[in-house]
Structure 1
Amino acid sequence: MSRAERRHRRYRKACVGLATAGLLALPATGALARPPQPAPRPTASAEPSPAAGFPTLDDATAAKLDRAVQDVLRKTGVPGVVVGISAPGKGTYTRAFGVADKATKQPMATDVYSRIGSETKTFTVTALLQLAQQGKVDLDDSIGTYVKGVPNGDKVTLRELAGMRSGLLSYTATETFYKALTTDPTRHFTPRELLDYAFKAPKPEILAPNTRFNYSNTNLILLGLVVEKQSGLPLPAYIRDHILRPAGMNRTSFPDDASFPTPHAQGYTRQTASARTQNATDWNPSWGWAAGAMISDLHDLRIWAKTLATGVFPDGTRMVVPDLQKQRLDTRPTGIPGADYGLGIFDVQGWIGHNGSLPGYESLTVYLPGQQATLVVLLNTDIPYGPRQEEPSTVFGQALTGILTPDHVYNLPAAVQKDMTPSPTG
């Protein structure tokens, strides 16, 4: 019997056991204990009465949300923003504010395509989980089984890579990568080139595996290579065929160059050699690949918010089987109370999903299971706000959820997101 067949048999036995005994969350096994929480937080495993405790999105609520968004827009200097909110029986809120182009003053629109940065990670990890349920990988396999030349490759597991606990340096935090990107942001990077920036650094292993949370884009490049090797498909093709099409997400893509469907907003950044604001719309996102190269829009991200959090496609079929979805949502501490991380997914005060940031654009797509509520935010800048250098998507998320769900305010700190985007300091 082959290794893959033995693994598949073990997986099928585990599924049978779980079906008879009930689904159990796996215990956290890291060195850090979960910080005390003020109240139980909702999980995607339960579906109480739709939108309980969520306000009706009527004219009065819309007026409050409008004022909050406009206030954040003014104080952060964000050029434009798209916001989408929905919950069963409560209506929808869909708005665009500001401008899509600072030069022409073209208004922002709700149908723009946008680069979604690190939200790409949620698709890559979903692909990994699907391969796990097929018996083609085991989450507790070492990365060295699939990719050679990884520091600590015989100790770091696929689960630790997906959970941001590998201890590997993020290539985006190295000075050599930052210089290469800002010198020629239109160049194409291969996955192996990206790994070289991390692995050839003086300290490619900054922590022992599974020591603590450490956000690293290197992890997702490695997982993308695993998906390609074990599926036999290029990563963009696998995600298109096995995730996007079954989800009905026809406006989401994974380009291998700087192509950008229209309409799209112009994106503004200070991730430049001069630290001056620059238009990054046509920068090549290949440097993000499995960690951050995808494009989507408000319509599709509304679909993805619930699909990701529940593991179920809109037609009711399973995207990820219950046991593996349970493991995905078994979040562990990031070091900041109220902000935990599972397998390629954040849980911030009960809001489940991910944000994204790369030069010129930011996004936020989250789902609150208890209320079955969806929040999507798209911005055309990644320029940090204020003395704490906050992600502007977080500032919008905090303002909106402060109105919608005051007991669950999305407030992901910038410190948790270190190494999401290129940095001039390694």
Structure 2
Amino acid sequence: MKDEEKGEGRRNETSVLLSSSFILFFILHPSSFILHPFLPNHFQLACVSHCGGWMMQQLCAFLLCGMTLVGATSAQNPDESRALAVDKLFEPVNDKTPGAAVVVIRDGAVVLKKAYGMADVTAGVPNTTKTRFLLASVTKTFTAAAIMQLADRGLLNIDDTVSKYLTDFPSGDKVKLRHLLTHTGGLPDFMSYEQAREKPLEFEPGTRVSYSNIGYQMLGKIIEKVSGQTYEAYLQENIFKPAGMSSSGVDKESSLKERACGYLNSPDGFQSAGRNAATDAYAAGSLFSSVEDLFLWSQALESGKLVKTETLQQVFTPTRMNDGRDGVFGLGWMIGRNKGLREVHHGGDITGFNTEVARYPDQKFTVIVLSNIGMRPLGPLPNAADLSKKIAEIYLGDQMKEEPEVKIVKLDSAVLDLYVGEYAIEAPEVVLREGGRTFVITHEGDRLMGESKMGKGELLAESETVFQAKGSPVKLTFIKDPDGKVNRVLFSVMGVREFPAHRIK
């Protein structure tokens, strides 16, 4: 590997970032990927983390891994065989294409560190493990750590209201810092902070989850207010420097030539995404880093160097909603399971780049994938989140188990009839414009069907009131009135985004 690399890159425009951390909106059909009919193109992110084509891709990874291991010579140790299996995953990229960098950490030590493809195709600069990539929404994990540092030092409390620090936010007396960290504050998105100040909360804080970049921009402002430093200066002094991270920072014009160039797939091959700094993404997505630096970040977090051990446990614990159910977010990280193993992770998606940091705390195992290939349109290389899962399976497959299939229940025709009708979706204007303002539910034979501007699909009953959109991460929960009638439904996308709708017909 080369010790240094040079590259060029760009950020996406803010509106793209604001939709970027939504995940999972393709479904797999036997012969091809198609966009899910219930989700607007603005949200369709090529299987990030949890869904759709991931199942088929996981199968392919398993087969590739199996073939590699069978063909390995007796001279190969297990990690060498696994490294070959990882190489197979990156066969679609070469010295004529952009690519990615990877680090795999087990028991605190690096077991794989490698880069693939080019940081700058035109200039002929290869990716290395020192290459700097835009992190996009992985930035949020650093913002959350900074907030928790300030809490450890007694300078703030995450159960303080926003109004204590941001007096210009009208609803700040209703929203706690904890709500911002866990995306449960009811804040709008797809707009600037100044615009958000003029909008009412979308729901009572703590009652729902709604991924909000605005919330993390507010946390950045709070870091500055409490510390008396800029967001960038605070991170450099309190996170990057203590962790020894010399290749990380806030993206700006002066850093463009020191990082990879971002690329987008097209019918004519990979196209440069241009060169603009990601500064506007601020505390929600403006950082760059390398896989080598992110290894240091991971070690510093676990060692107690950045936050107290008990604080890190809070960070990695799912938030408790007002009604007692667990949310999908901890404090800055998503909390879930991958084939039976607890996974703490966060991904990022910004034009020309996509990223994933996935931790398996019980196995003391971490995978980090940084790619300078955008997630949309679909290209030959799986996205970073899918790659991280494939790599985890290569190393942890013997500890994993197939997820049990969700049991589908058969409901009486009279129950299905309760849900038939047309519902108006309550969502940001960008969602309504692209996905449609209404959702129509019909009862056809023994099936319940849902249809929007994006298309039509079957709804599978998991219980009397909860339905799964077939082949999709979208769930619908019908809400009964006291008289038993159904006039409201809640759409949930893997618990990350929730949109209510009310009956109009």
The bucket for the TM-score relative to the shorter chain is 0.5 to 0.7
| Matched AA of 1:351 | E
Cα root mean square deviation, aligned: 3.6
Partner Cα separation in structure 1 for residue 256 and residue 238 of structure 2: 22
1:364 CA drift (Å): 1.4
1:122-147 CA-partner distances (Å, limit 9, x unpaired): 11111111211222211111101111
SS at match of 1:126: helix
CA contact under 8 A between 1:382 and 1:391: conserved in structure 2? no
1:299-340 CA-partner distances (Å, limit 9, x unpaired): 1101212433x3622xxxxx2123432321221489xx9993
Match of 2:317? 330
Deviating more after overlay: 222-231 vs 398-407: 398-407
Match of 1:47? none
Partner Cα separation in structure 2 for residue 233 and residue 277 of structure 1: 40
CA contact under 8 A between 1:117 and 1:293: conserved in structure 2? yes
Match of 1:207? 203
For 1:114-263, list aligned pairs within 5 A: 114-170=133-189, 173-174=190-191, 194-200=192-198, 204-255=200-251, 257-260=252-255, 263=258
SS at match of 1:127: helix
Greater relative contact order (Cα < 8 A, sep 6+): 1
Aligned residues: 323
1:175-232 CA-partner distances (Å, limit 9, x unpaired): xxxxxxxxxxxxxxxxxxx3023334xx552222111221100111111111111111
CA contact under 8 A between 1:144 and 1:154: conserved in structure 2? yes
Match of 2:348? 356
Distance 1:123 1:56, change over 3 A: farther
Match of 2:360? 368
1:408 CA drift (Å): 5.5
Partner Cα separation in structure 2 for residue 156 and residue 89 of structure 1: 37
Partner Cα separation in structure 2 for residue 346 and residue 295 of structure 1: 20
CA contact under 8 A between 2:349 and 2:375: conserved in structure 1? no
Match of 2:383? 392
Distance 1:281 1:368, change over 3 A: farther
CA contact under 8 A between 1:69 and 1:399: conserved in structure 2? no
For 1:22-61, list aligned pairs within 5 A: 58-61=79-82
Normalized per residue, the structure richer in strand is 2
SS at match of 1:242: helix
Distance 1:113 1:321, change over 3 A: same
Deviating more after overlay: 88-97 vs 322-331: 88-97
TM-score by length of structure 1 reads 0.67
Distance 1:348 1:142, change over 3 A: same
Q: Which runs of 5+ in 1 are unaligned?
A: 1-54, 175-193, 271-275, 314-318, 420-426
| Matched AA of 1:377 | V
Partner Cα separation in structure 1 for residue 175 and residue 318 of structure 2: 18
Q: Does 1:70 align with 2:70?
A: no
Task: Select the residue among 341, 354, 373 that pairs with 1:381.
Answer: 373
Partner Cα separation in structure 1 for residue 318 and residue 247 of structure 2: 29
1:98-131 CA-partner distances (Å, limit 9, x unpaired): 2323445543322211111112111111111121
Match of 1:300? 293
1:225-259 CA-partner distances (Å, limit 9, x unpaired): 1111111111111111111111111221124x333
Task: Select the residue among 402, 409, 414 that pairs with 2:393.
Answer: 402
Normalized per residue, the structure richer in helix is 1
Match of 2:261? 266
| Matched AA of 1:403 | I
Match of 1:321? 308
SS at match of 1:288: helix
Match of 1:5? none
| Matched AA of 2:287 | M
Give the structure with higher Rg (CA). 2
Match of 1:283? 276
1:87 CA drift (Å): 1.5
1:290 CA drift (Å): 0.8
CA contact under 8 A between 2:357 and 2:366: conserved in structure 1? yes
Q: Which runs of 5+ in 2 are unaligned?
A: 1-75, 404-472, 475-492, 498-505
Distance 1:111 1:338, change over 3 A: farther
Deviating more after overlay: 390-399 vs 136-145: 390-399
Distance 1:377 1:338, change over 3 A: farther
SS at match of 2:354: strand
